[in-house]
Amino acid sequence: MRARILIFSLIITIISIILFSLASTQVYYNSSVDETEEYLLVYMNLYDENDYTADQDGADALAEILDGARVTYITADGTVLGDSRQQNISENHSDRPEVIAALEDGSGYAVRNSETLGENMVYYCKAFTEADGSTLLVRIAVSIPSEWKLFVKTLPTTATYIAIDIVLCIILAFVATYFIVKPVQDLAANASKKGMVTTKYSELKPIAEVLNERNRNIERQMGEIVAEKESVNNARKTKDEFISNITHEMNTPLTSIQGYAELLKAGALTEEQKQDAYEVISTQSTRLTSLITCIINYSEIDSDEILPDEVNFSEIAREMISVLRPEAESHDVTLEDSIEDNVIVQSRHELVCEVFGNLVRNAIRYNKPGGSVTVTLNYDCLKVADTGVGIAPENRDRIFDRFFTVDKSHGGKNGGFGLGLASVRKICLKYGWKISVESEQGKGSTFTVEF
């Protein structure tokens, strides 16, 4: 970086010095031309005021008093009558710009490199009318150094300035690197610490913002990774719990089946005891099958990838009520319904049956003899209200957990596994429905599913 600053500043300053020296040479040259022209005007007056012959001798005499200036006498047709610098010039001078100007306007200046003498000269030519009426052109010229010569003359000074410039640029490179790099180093040190990166230099603020944005992204990603890890751990925990629950639920019927099978095998049972044993084995086998079906149904809700379709909930509700009516009657429960036609939901037929069946079956099972169940279905929601046992406040949130049953005997009066409402909640979550429950112990419960 230091070398770059050095090279960059050197290039800029050396070019500036050279350009400045060229410009000042030009200005100096122009002013010396102007000054020389003024001198020539005075010289010409000297000629005018004195009497010099228009020949070689006259030219030499005038040149002598003009401090060596070149004097040339030229006729109107360009013939050189005399020249103080070179005798017997035969070349016609009518094409010289100052001669043309003098013939046209009376006088004229020109600055050029003399073809005759090879010097850079300022010419002043003036036309005079002689006594015989002829025109005499008097040209006085003074040599001045050319622009190039002036430039070459300034070279030692320019070189001195360039040398000083190199030293200054080296110092500048060190100072600039310090002042530029230091804030960047501070910023880097700041960025390696925790928290917001700040800088008082406005030029570095965009970098600080980029660093802050990057830090925020890293923090967000770290948060996501932690959350993901947590969710993986939770999922693992849930799975372990699930398996342990299943094992526990299966254990009860299996132990019964195994125990009674052992007794039957031993052959020491009376006929009546044998009948009881067959009965228990049959009931527990049915319960085991039903548990397995419930677990499969519950697990399939997640793995089900079939896209939802328009399902006529009203038709399903009416069909299921007619199926469930005998069960309600067997529990001495009245089943009433108020179902609007063509309530269409985005779901799947089997899952709508699962939600409806579980809620209504529970309302029947957890009812009291002589009680009632009222099913209301409209475009906004499904309500299943019963006049049953109700749910204790401390259990109201937990009834939706897997394998949660209020009756812990797992083989209680109603014999549920605690997977029904868990399935209902899972299905509701899947389709963005909201399930809620209101209940009063001993008076009944109302389950509401809002679509």
Identity of the residue, 84 or 405, whose beta carbon is nearer to ligand ADP in the bound complex = 405
21: nearest Cα among 160, 167, 169, 170: 160
Stretch that binds ligand ADP, among 212-220, 243-251, 342-350, 399-407 (CB under 6 A): 399-407
Check residue 389 for interaction with ligand ADP (CB under 6 A): yes
Ordered alpha helix ranges (H), 110-204: 147-192
- Name which position in 161, 418, 435, 448 contacts ligand ADP (CB under 6 A): 418
- DSSP category for residue 307: P
Check residue 417 for interaction with ligand ADP (CB under 6 A): yes
Sheet holding 80-83, edge to edge: 80-83, 70-75, 135-143, 120-129, 107-113
Check residue 405 for interaction with ligand ADP (CB under 6 A): yes
Identity of the residue, 108 or 444, whose beta carbon is nearer to ligand ADP in the bound complex = 444
The two tokens of residue 355 are: 């939600």
Check residue 362 for interaction with ligand ADP (CB under 6 A): yes
Check residue 448 for interaction with ligand ADP (CB under 6 A): no
Least gap, CB of 415 to ligand ADP (angstroms): 8
Query: 271-303 and 349-365 are packed helices; what angle lies between their axes, rounded to 10 degrees?
Result: 140
- Name which position in 18, 172, 207, 406 contacts ligand ADP (CB under 6 A): 406
- What are the counts of helices (DSSP H) followed by strands (DSSP E) for the chain? 9, 12
Look-up of token digits 């800029």: 12
354: nearest Cα among 386, 313, 326: 313
- Name which position in 386, 426, 449, 451 contacts ligand ADP (CB under 6 A): 386
Check residue 421 for interaction with ligand ADP (CB under 6 A): yes
Least gap, CB of 382 to ligand ADP (angstroms): 14
Identity of the residue, 72 or 445, whose beta carbon is nearer to ligand ADP in the bound complex = 445
Least gap, CB of 353 to ligand ADP (angstroms): 15
Positive or negative: CA dihedral 346, 348, 350, 354: negative
434: nearest Cα among 451, 446, 419: 451
| Chain positions contacting ligand ADP, by CB under 6 A | 358, 362-363, 366, 386, 388-391, 399, 404-406, 416-422, 445
